[in-house]
A and B are shown apart, each in its own frame.
Chain A
Amino acid sequence: MTPQEVARDTAQRLVETAGLNAVLHWSAEGLQLEAARVAALPPEAPLRGMPVAVKDNIVTLDTPTTCASRILEGYVSPFEATAVRRLRAAGAMIVAKTNLDEFAMGSSTEHSAFGRVLHPDFPERVPGGSSGGSAALVAAGVVPAALGSETGGSVRQPASFCGIVGVKPSYGRVSRYGLVAFASSLDQIGPLSLDVRDCALVLQVISGHDPHDSTSVDLPVPDFVASLEAGVRGLRVGVPAEFFGEGLQPGVRQAVLEAVRVLEGLGARVEEVALPTLEYALPTYYLIACAEASSNLARYDGVAYGYRSPRADDLYTLYARTRAEGFGPEVKRRIMLGTFALSEGYYEGFYKKAQQVRTLVRRDFDRCFQRVDVLATPTSPVAGFRLGERTADPLQMYLADVYTIPVNLAGLPGISVPCGFVDGLPVGLQLVGRPFEEATVLRVAYAYEQATEWHRHRCPFLRG
């Protein structure tokens, strides 16, 4: 297909799937402009003609970037994210900006100011979050790949719920320049796709040091695609017992343990390992992430850009009303929790303590990786929940990320790959590696994927 044909085909799919509410911005005219640009690129461009959707908290030129928030409604960035610039230079066509939980704060994509996203396969279920729009669009077959962002599992968890692949790179592997900041010590951009190879292709392009982001690491980027075929014979796979305890849906446990047996059958050596600080990871994450969010989101005050309340006669009221009217309830709740954790009298007992526990979490992982090469766990304790089931109880919503959050705290690479179904709902196998060993994680995921048929199951829309 020519880029123009891909653009027309993608436009038709976007129209047909509009009911999912997975997309916040796209235009047929913009698609044709992208196709014309890509048609002029040399044929060897690695992603030439690949349509890619981008989560709407990653800035793009010409199209708005709203973070699914009223406070940024209509905002157009004056610069382009490095990951987007690299994708376009590699020949990808940016076709749409996808819906998300407001400022990436959520696990179900029900916290968008522009309406919730529907699961492409199960309209009564959530697609996961916060990159639920990107995951739904890939699972529905509209695009082969999309960018999401991770702070506590926002790529892997929706990938798991939608039956696709999602990668969280090591902290520092991908530039955060142009990713709207939520929690700066945790945020990373990551790809979602229908299979491991496409994730590897996209990750290859967006990885690498960026002078615009001093937290991006100046390390060589391995050839992720070339290393996929290396197999798992002799590789050591650790199974942390703490990830299989209370709260894990029995069907999810069964699917993940069966996946571990498949890896064993492929020649991997499996052994049990311990991550005793898992029980502290979730509270640690919420203190650190909310504290960082309270600082990062202080910039939305109605002065330099974004929404401004029309009902303010003095400067303080301008700030307070702009933020009260512009932010949704979950964002306000997290900013307030973060402000509380950083306030006088509580800093030592909450924020500082959380920072210390974060060190323990990382040490636990380091100890595991002295014995094994990758860890295998469930991505989520459940295989998806119903729309509205957890919105009234923030703590229940937070628990949806209990297995992904420790990986973000420790800055490690992780992937979710489909490993079965429970009551028809997809289940994800999470694989976690040593820092900057994305190649190993991708290789194990690819070996598993090639040995099973789960990734060939598509949602009814795509099968149709």
Chain B
Amino acid sequence: MTISREDVLHVARLAEIGVSEHELDALVDQMNRIVGYVAQLDAAPVESDGAAFVPGPTAVAWREDVVQPEPLALPPAALAPDFRAGFFVVPQLPALVPESEHAPVDDEEEP
């Protein structure tokens, strides 16, 4: 299979990673090489109903359903880029931003 520029932009949008125009060609090339390499799994002799192996405990270790707060050394306000009155402050959703206030796109082609 071949990964196109549009495929890479679609994946970048799903992954919420901005990709600039100057990065795009190299990413398309690398993704094609890597996906071509992992596609060799097509030849692996798996059973159609083969269960997935998951390492770790064979059974869930249940605990008492009691909330036990873990004291933290730092409050959210010390870690968050913007935290006010108990809330994490973020910009508006895109749909709520007036057209005139949209930031210039400059070098980046936003996915």
CB–CB B17/A332 < 8 A: yes
CB–CB B27/A318 < 8 A: no
Highest count of chain A CB atoms <10 Å: which of B17, B46, B52, B94 = B17
- Once A79-B72, A303-B80, A304-B76 are accepted as A-B contacts, the answer to whether A314 and B44 lie under 8 Å apart by CB is no
Say whether B67 faces chain A, with CB atoms less than 8 Å apart: no
Q: Which chain A residues border B30 with CB–CB below 8 Å?
A: 333, 394
CB–CB B61/A214 < 8 A: yes
CB–CB A303/B74 < 8 A: no
Q: How far is the CA of A359 from the CA of B92 in the complex (A)?
A: 45
- Once A356-B46, A394-B34 are accepted as A-B contacts, the answer to whether A314 and B80 lie under 8 Å apart by CB is no
- Once A78-B73, A315-B90 are accepted as A-B contacts, the answer to whether A320 and B57 lie under 8 Å apart by CB is no
Q: Which chain B residues border A217 with CB–CB below 8 Å?
A: 56-57
Q: How far is the CA of A280 from the CA of B18 in the complex (A)?
A: 32
For the complex with contacts A341-B38, A355-B52, 13 further pairs of A-B residues with Cβ separation under 8 Å are A214-B60, A214-B61, A283-B39, A306-B81, A308-B82, A311-B103, A323-B15, A324-B17, A324-B20, A339-B15, A350-B41, A354-B38, A410-B55
- Give the contacting residue for B47; candidates A172, A214, A327, A356; CB below 8 A: A356
B1-32 Cβ-contact flags toward A at 8 Å (1 or 0): 00100011001101111111000000100110
Q: How far is the CA of A303 from the CA of B15 in the complex (A)?
A: 16
Q: How far is the CA of A335 from the CA of B27 in the complex (A)?
A: 12
CB–CB A304/B80 < 8 A: yes
B-facing residues in A283-325 (Cβ within 8 Å): 283-284, 286-287, 294, 298, 301-308, 311-321, 323-324
Q: How far is the CA of A323 from the CA of B33 in the complex (A)?
A: 24
CB–CB B44/A304 < 8 A: no
Least CB distance from B111 to A in Å reads 7
Q: How large is the interface on A (under 10, 10 to 19, 20 to 34, 35 or more residues)?
A: 35 or more
Residue of A nearest to B81 (CB): A308
A343-384 Cβ-contact flags toward B at 8 Å (1 or 0): 100000110111111111110000000000000000000000
- Give the contacting residue for B51; candidates A308, A317, A339, A359; CB below 8 A: A359
Which residues of A pack against B, CB within 8 Å?
A: 61, 75-79, 170-172, 185, 209, 211, 214-218, 277, 279-280, 283-284, 286-287, 294, 298, 301-308, 311-321, 323-324, 327, 332-333, 335-337, 339-341, 343, 349-350, 352-362, 394-395, 410-411, 435
Q: How far is the CA of A318 from the CA of B89 in the complex (A)?
A: 12
- Once A172-B55, A317-B103, A362-B53 are accepted as A-B contacts, the answer to whether A337 and B35 lie under 8 Å apart by CB is yes
Q: Which chain B residues border A209 with CB–CB below 8 Å?
A: 61
Residue of A nearest to B57 (CB): A217
Q: Which chain A residues border B34 with CB–CB below 8 Å?
A: 286, 333, 337, 394-395
Q: How far is the CA of A403 from the CA of B30 in the complex (A)?
A: 23
15 contacts between A and B (CB under 8 A): A75-B79, A78-B72, A185-B54, A286-B34, A301-B16, A303-B88, A304-B76, A305-B79, A305-B80, A313-B91, A316-B16, A341-B38, A353-B41, A354-B41, A359-B52
Q: How far is the CA of A360 from the CA of B55 in the complex (A)?
A: 13
Least CB distance from B51 to A in Å reads 6
CB–CB B41/A284 < 8 A: yes
Q: Which chain A residues border B85 with CB–CB below 8 Å?
A: none
- Once A171-B56, A308-B81 are accepted as A-B contacts, the answer to whether A357 and B46 lie under 8 Å apart by CB is yes
Q: How far is the CA of A410 from the CA of B52 in the complex (A)?
A: 11
Residue of B nearest to A329 (CB): B23
Q: How far is the CA of A343 from the CA of B46 in the complex (A)?
A: 21
Residue of A nearest to B75 (CB): A78
CB–CB A280/B56 < 8 A: no
Q: Which chain B residues border A395 with CB–CB below 8 Å?
A: 33-34, 37
Q: How far is the CA of A362 from the CA of B53 in the complex (A)?
A: 7
Q: Which chain B residues border A435 with CB–CB below 8 Å?
A: 55
CB–CB A333/B60 < 8 A: no
CB–CB B18/A324 < 8 A: yes
Q: How far is the CA of A171 from the CA of B53 in the complex (A)?
A: 12
CB–CB A360/B45 < 8 A: yes
Least CB distance from B21 to A in Å reads 12
A-facing residues in B62-105 (Cβ within 8 Å): 63, 70, 72-76, 78-82, 88, 90-94, 96-97, 101-103
CB–CB B41/A318 < 8 A: no
Q: How far is the CA of A302 from the CA of B80 in the complex (A)?
A: 8
Least CB distance from B73 to A in Å reads 5
Residue of A nearest to B106 (CB): A311
- Give the contacting residue for A313; candidates B39, B45, B103; CB below 8 A: B103
Q: Which chain B residues border A360 with CB–CB below 8 Å?
A: 44-46, 50
Q: Which chain B residues border A218 with CB–CB below 8 Å?
A: 57, 61
Q: How far is the CA of A333 from the CA of B8 in the complex (A)?
A: 10
Q: Which chain A residues border B101 with CB–CB below 8 Å?
A: 313
- Once A324-B19, A350-B38, A395-B37 are accepted as A-B contacts, the answer to whether A313 and B102 lie under 8 Å apart by CB is yes
CB–CB A321/B18 < 8 A: yes
Q: Which chain B residues border A75 with CB–CB below 8 Å?
A: 79
- Once A75-B79, A320-B111 are accepted as A-B contacts, the answer to whether A356 and B52 lie under 8 Å apart by CB is yes
CB–CB A321/B60 < 8 A: no
Residue of A nearest to B59 (CB): A218
- Sorted from nearest, which 9 A-B pairs have the closest CB atoms? A411-B55, A324-B18, A78-B72, A355-B52, A171-B55, A308-B81, A320-B18, A356-B46, A283-B38
Q: Which chain B residues border A304 with CB–CB below 8 Å?
A: 76, 79-80, 88
